[in-house]
Amino acid sequence: MILEFSVGHWSKSAPPETFQKIGKKWEWAGWWSSLVPFVITAYYVIVMAWCFAYIIYAIDLRWGANAEHFFLTTFLGVTEGPMTIGGISIPALLALIIMWVLIFIILYKGVSRIGKVVVITVPLACILFVLLAIRGLTLPGAVDGVSYYLTPDFSRLVDVNVWLAAYAQVFFSLSLAQGIMISYASYLKKKSDISNNAFITALADSGISFLAGFAVFSIVGYLALMQGVGIESLGISGPALTFITYPTAISLFPVAPILFGILFYIALFTFGLDSAFSMVEPITAGIHHKWKISKEKTTGFVCIAGFLTSLIFVTGSGLHWLEIVDHFISDFGLVLIGLVECLIIGWAFQISKFRLHANDVSDVRIGRWWDILIKFVVPAILIFILIMSVYNLIVTPSNYPWWALLLGGVAPCGIIFLLSFVFMKLKGKTEAKNG
């Protein structure tokens, strides 16, 4: 994060132009890091659309006594496999349209409006999670849920899949290797404290996630007690936790289940909205700067393209495609970009320049050890993670056929990579005039 903050603050540019300043031949890396979060947004925004729909469904606890059937069948109409497209979920489609309209409204006026939105949404979501955590901790069985959440199983530290999941989560949660932090840092004031901002951002993100764990697992413990089952037998990850396990628990609340259901999905929605528009900003900024298209037109074009890309995820096969694309982008895309960033900035440029740049404006100064981390330690770890990801992909049986993985996972990654070079080769407005 210090690296991306330093690079963005130094360049005062979008990711493509930033890497072009590092070296003209590296512009593609900036486009790559901008296109990947755009693809992530295409499926991430549908999860936010589900949250938006569930804010409304929580008003009358629409999911009833069988939250699983409601989510998978009534709401999404999930088919048996990715190639069975099925019908379109109209509620999900309408919510998806609202999401992309909101993203456009927030982004088209530039960073000033982004700041105004975040000032409201982030504190609101934090307050709501505090309220949910307090409510959850007062429920019977909450202690068991919190104990399950906090009790470590040190034997899992030798499981490479745990480390793969952890790194994917850190990259995703902190918006690393997605061009986002480079874009946002480019807007920082000249004397903004880089190191301190990085520490605050990372610690705040971890703290909020830690708090959210209490809000979730206290209520999961309550559900396990009410149903007389072990916590591990409940769906406690992915969409199952958010749209099946949690709604089931909310329905069993002795007091104000509707209120806490609405608060939970508003909290998720506000946090998710912040993430969604932040992932669109790098590509809009890159196009805006290179071709001098107005921010309004650029944002509109990108949002329309994103909406059209998202349409596959409102079909009955959408949940299947979401799982496939997310697996490849998270396990390969983000880690690869992080590795490329370290190699380009660490070896094709003078890495100490960014360390000195950060130290010039930071109270917390970083030493030469940071250069060693960026040049040697981090790349070694990321290479190991990539190798293990490929190994797991080969040896671990998948729920989906190979052609579905090729179509929904390998193909998007390859197309993004090729588009990065296409965008680099296209002449920008200034380049065209000079030519």
Per residue in 195-244, pLDDT (tens digit) is: 999 999 999 999 999 999 999 999 999 999 999 999 988 988 889 999 99
How far apart CA 246 and CA 172 sit, in angstroms, is 23
SS3 17: helix
Q: How far is CA 394 from CA 189, 214, 343, 389, in A?
A: 47, 36, 27, 9
Average confidence (pLDDT) over 250-255? 92
Is pLDDT above 80 for 132? Answer: yes
pLDDT of residue 139: 94
CB atoms within 10 A of CB 6: 29
Is pLDDT above 70 for 434? Answer: no
Average confidence (pLDDT) over 334-349? 94
- How high is the mean pLDDT of the chain? 92
Taking alpha carbons only, the member of 167, 190, 171, 186 closest to residue 5 is 186
All domains of the chain, ordered by start, with CATH?
Answer: 2-427 (1.20.1740)
Q: Helix-strand-coil percent breakdown of the chain, rounded to 5?
A: 80, 0, 20
Choose the weakest-confidence range: 192-196, 321-325, 396-400.
Answer: 396-400
What are 113's two structure tokens?
A: 């409006």
Per residue in 58-81, pLDDT (tens digit) is: 999 999 999 999 999 999 999 999
More confident residue, 435 or 64: 64
Choose the weakest-confidence range: 3-12, 56-65, 284-293, 390-399.
Answer: 390-399
What are 307's two structure tokens?
A: 């909406």
